[in-house]
Amino acid sequence: MKKRVIVIDDNRLSICILSDILVREGYEVRAIWETASCMDSIISADPVLILMDIVMPGINGVDLCRILKGNTLTRNIPVIMITSITDIEVLKSAFDAGAVDYIRKPYNPIEIAVRARSAIQIYEQQKRLEFLALYDGLTEIYNHKTVIDLIRKDYQKALNQNLPYSMIMTDIDSFKKINDRYGHPAGDEILRNISGLMREQFEKTGLVGRYGGEEFCIGIPGNGERKAEILKKAVEDSLFCVQDMEIRVTISIGVAVCCIQTKEFAAEEILSIADKQLYLAKNSGKNCVKCEIITKDKVTAEKHVRGSREEKKCLEK
């Protein structure tokens, strides 16, 4: 797919010249002549670069750039100013508004191509770094830190709305044997396929992340035991085609369902209960789901254990 560039100018001849240069460089170009109501067009186009004239009727280029940088959907798109102005203060105001570069008129095709390519490369590198900060590079689902942070917030939201909440831990059975038999590239492909199944099942209702290695973590409002059973069956019934090989795998799942509205249990504690249930599933023959429902009795027992621990610590002191 061609990278999309937007050219904004009230001069149609200028737009034609710029478009011709950019199209010859392999870009898809969209032109905007009116700045008054162009934000919707820019957002829907999702460009990798915007070239725009500084001097335009209505909203000038500097003000429009400031508007773009103030919008969460457009603030990261690089803006290159097109200008015949040599006043350094005007150029400074353009950079202060968020422009990354400027090109002087009359146009030099080589200069336009080089500056556009440079701005786009930096933009794409930044997007990649932002992606890796939130997502796992292999499976492209949330990484460990992101999914735990999001689940913590989602769990608190459920508490505030008096809703039950489930945390699910899942692990690919005998994954080391898969790597040893078929090779690590095949193992990576299995991880991608299974994360895809999880994303397909939970992306509209829950949060899915790679916890580490072959372990995944899922947070979902409501009782997630049934969903976990469906996921287990979907993996069990799947035939993964990897490097001209057909591989079947299974997963073990641990579920913790908090059915009471209490702040006695932090999200991490419920996740720990799900992890213990996963351990039980692994030691019960694998390819199964183990679930614990957290009730008032569970909380009362946990408070008693905590009190006993604190009392023991005091006596030891």
Q: Hey, which residues are catalytic here? A: 214
**In the beta sheet, which residues pair with residue 307?**
none
Q: Measured between alpha carbons, how far is residue 32 from residues 24, 38, 212, 217 in Å?
A: 19, 7, 47, 45
Q: How does DSSP assign 31-47, residue by residue?
A: EE---TT-HHHHHHH--
How many residues in total does the chain contain? 317
Largest distance between two CA atoms of the chain: 86
What phi, psi does 141 have (nearest 5°)? -105, 175
What helix, strand, coil percent values describe the chain, rounded to 5?
50, 20, 30
Task: State the alpha helices, DSSP H only, in the chain.
Answer: 12-24, 39-45, 61-69, 88-97, 109-134, 144-160, 175-182, 184-202, 225-237, 267-282, 296-316
* Cα four-point dihedral sign 150, 152, 156, 158: positive
Tell me the one-letter amino acid at 107: Y
The answer to whether the beta carbons of residues 79 and 52 sit under 8 Å apart is: yes
Q: What SS3 state is found at 7?
A: strand
The answer to whether the beta carbons of residues 147 and 215 sit under 8 Å apart is: no
CA 271 to CA 152: how far, in whole Å? 10
Helix (H) or strand (E) holding 196: helix 184-202
The answer to whether the beta carbons of residues 142 and 134 sit under 8 Å apart is: yes
Kindly report whether the peptide bond that precedes residue 221 is cis, defined as omega within 30 degrees of 0.
no
